[in-house]
Amino acid sequence: MAGSEEVKVMATKLFKPEIIPELIWKIIQAFPLTLTLAVGSLILGLIMALGIAVLCLRAPKVPRSIANGYIHFIRGIPTLILIYLLYLGFPQLMKGLGVDMSGVDKRVYLVVIFALAVSANFAELMRSSYLSVDNGQQEAALAAGMTARQGFQRIVLPQAFAVALPSLGNYIIMLFKLTSLGFVVGVVDLMGKTRILINLTYGSRRLETYLALAVIYWALCFVLERLNKLLIKRYTRGRKDLAERGAVQ
């Protein structure tokens, strides 16, 4: 009996779940930076992906091959290696060319790096979603008297967006989790704050702190997933309503 009591006492000392709520509150203070990185990377990544997708679909052979090569290259590189290449290697290369990049903010590097990391997936998603719409849709729009631009905006784009929306939501969630790698360059995001708290306790509360971080990421990703499903549901319902009105008219 004495031995089992000692084990319980030892376990209590090793793991204190009651401090997890306090740790969650401390870690969540760094959420604004994580959100900034995610939103900035998302916007930049979508812009880059649009250009790449257009090249893959409309450009001549050489630019199209370059765009396809970019997609394969970026998708094949771990994001952590991409961080080391661009945050450590690129400034060194530019310094050799006489350009000092020491004044560039770490957050700028991370936004660009994360945007690059997701742009390839976004571009492939845009390309495949566009190709999923039958060519007859655009031809029907032209036959109805629409211009090519009107046909794309009113007929092709809504259908392509409906195809892309589920995967787009998953990629956004992936991007949000990807920002946890920002700690390697020293930014105090959610992961960076977690490591600071662990160091302050000399690693004695490592398990509780990482559990607190896991709960935060799970909760935020759950919210994003629910929002994505709600958007899909409303967008699909809206398109059905428009189709029914058009059929009645």
Is 131 among the domain residues? yes
pLDDT at 145: 76
Is 7 among the domain residues? no
What residues contact 78, with CB distance under 8 A and at least 6 apart? none
Is 14 among the domain residues? no
**pLDDT for 246 beyond 60:** no
pLDDT at 249: 47
119, 52 Cβ separation under 8 angstroms: yes
| Confidence tier at 98 by pLDDT (50, 70, 90) | confident
Is 2 among the domain residues? no
Q: What is the mean pLDDT of residues 175-189?
A: 91
pLDDT at 150: 77
Rounded Cα distance between 114 and 190, Å, is: 16
Is 155 among the domain residues? yes
Is 73 among the domain residues? yes
Rounded Cα distance between 119 and 180, Å, is: 18
Is 75 among the domain residues? yes
Averaged pLDDT score across all residues of the chain: 85
Could you report the per-residue pLDDT of 24-51, keeping only the tens digit for each?
A: 999 999 999 999 999 999 999 999 999 9
Instruction: Identify the domain containing residue 119 by its residue range.
Output: 20-248
Q: What is the mean pLDDT of residues 160-189?
A: 90
Is 27 among the domain residues? yes
pLDDT at 4: 53
What residues contact 177, with CB distance under 8 A and at least 6 apart? 217, 221
Q: What is the mean pLDDT of residues 225-244?
A: 75
CATH number of the domain enclosing 45: 1.10.3720.10
Of 140, 148, 205, 169, which is closest to residue 42 (Cα–Cα)? 169
Number of structural domains the chain divides into = 1
Residue by residue, DSSP assigns 81-126 as HHHIIIIIIHHHHHHHTT---TTS-HHHHHHHHHHHHHHHHHHHHH
| Dihedral class, residue 146 (left if φ above 0, else alpha if ψ from -120 to 50, else beta) | beta
Rounded Cα distance between 78 and 100, Å, is: 27
